[in-house]
Amino acid sequence: MIRVLLVDDQELLRSGFRLILELEDDIRVVGEAADGARGAEEARRLKPDVVLMDIRMGEVDGIEATRRIVAADAGRVVVLTTFDLDEYVYAALRAGASGFLLKDTRPADLVDAVRIVARGDALLAPSVTRRLLERFTASAVVADSAAAELTEREREVLRLLAGGRSNLEIADALVLTEATVKSHVSNLLRKLGLRDRVQAVTWAYEHGLVRPGQS
């Protein structure tokens, strides 16, 4: 059973998300919170698998709440936002969020997102990610010494990963097995000191390994 915590200052949205998620046999909403501070407290208390986190809330926003939850290892956070070019989303990813979705996402995609993040993967919304990163990485610097530790194959994998490719798609593109791609992803995350694919994509754009518009 996937345990979910909802953190949003709009009761109507929390109710809607609860209704969608609890139609699924493998998902249960274990708590709700109307602000970031309470959301972080509830996450530490309930230890949910996934926290659906609004960004713009009261005194403690979703960014700070995400930071507190990740620091306490109290659940994996999926950020929900109304705007696909919201600078707060980028900040939330840097704070440790495992991904983000738009609030008007289809119910089926919301359910899929919860399952993806619950099993330990990171979630990127391809239609939004590139536009978001284009705005905040227009002046990306060249890759630093950390990137020098990567093999050329690991760089190729990272470039494709940053373009939104799945492990299977990367395997097809590089004529590798999916298991080999998973190994390369694990190695590059370890070398760069990153937690998951979301951080890897952000890192790749920030350090100029890929540029906005590349796929």
Task: List, in sequence order, the alpha helices (H) in the chain.
Answer: 11-21, 36-46, 62-71, 87-95, 107-118, 126-136, 145-148, 152-162, 167-174, 178-192, 197-206
Q: What SS3 state is found at 41?
A: helix
Give the architecture-level CATH label for domain 135-206: Orthogonal Bundle (1.10)
Domain borders along the chain are 2-123, 135-206
Model pTM?
0.68
pLDDT tens digits along 22-55 = 999 999 999 999 999 999 999 999 999 999 999 8
pLDDT tens digits along 151-186 = 989 989 998 888 778 889 999 999 999 999 999 999
With a CB cutoff of 8 Å and minimum separation 6, the contacts of 118 are 2, 49, 50, 76
CATH superfamily of this structure's domain 2-123:
Response regulator (3.40.50.2300)
Distances from the Cα of 85 to the Cα of 3, 79, 81, 187, angstroms: 29, 13, 9, 31
